[in-house]
Amino acid sequence: MYDDILVPTDGSDAVDRALDHAIRLATDHGATLHALYVVDQRIAAANSGDLHDDVVEDLESQGEAAVDAVAEAAAEAGLDAETHVAYGTPDTEIVDYADEAGIDVIVMSPEGKPPRERIQSLGSVSDRVADDASVPVFLIK
């Protein structure tokens, strides 16, 4: 039923709960896990000059570490994984990736970044993904 499962990650501890669920689901279905981190271009755009480059570089490093952690957990469970770092608005990139990669289900946590960062990014990414995705979205608390 599920061949490809997307786990969006922001590198927070909340992703671990969603990842545990996604691994169980992928194991049951023999599915591939896809890890996606989105470098939020709104944050990068808010900084200028050399600071912009430093911010983007830091976000890219965080993203690589976050998707690598998902891939390592998948490998430990004997699952195949694909990793991807995208650039844009997180909810839009998650939905677009799901459509383009033929994702069957998205598994994510509604509790990622601290409340202050969620406010700065204009609300809950998971709510917008659940509203806009063309595939089921499992929100794991």
Angle at 130 between CA 115 and CA 5, to 5 degrees: 105
Chain position carrying tokens 């891939």: 71
Q: Give the residue-averaged pLDDT of 71-89.
A: 97
CATH code for the domain in which residue 122 is found? 3.40.50.620
pLDDT at residue number 56: 83
Whose CA is closest to 8, among 37, 29, 41, 50?
Answer: 37
- 104 versus 119: which is more confidently predicted? 104
Q: Average per-residue pLDDT in the chain?
A: 89
Domain extent, residue 125, equals: 4-139
Question: What whole-number distance in Å separates Cα of residue 77 and Cα of residue 79?
Answer: 6
Q: What is the pTM of this model?
A: 0.88
Tell me the sheet residues that pair with 106: 6, 137
Q: Is the pLDDT of residue 87 over 90?
A: yes
Mean pLDDT along residues 68-73: 98
Interhelix angle 14-29/49-76, nearest 10 degrees:
40
Tally of domains within the chain? 1
> pLDDT value at position 52?
67
User: Which amino acid makes up residue 96?
Assistant: D
Residue 139 has a CB neighbour count (10 Å cut-off) of: 16
Per-residue pLDDT tens for 25-68?
Answer: 999 999 999 999 999 888 767 766 666 678 888 889 999 999 99
Q: How far apart are CA 56 and CA 6, in angstroms?
A: 24
Q: Cβ–Cβ contacts within 10 Å for residue 1, how many? A: 8
SS3 labels along 77-110: CCCCEEEEEEEECHHHHHHHHHHHCCCCEEEECC
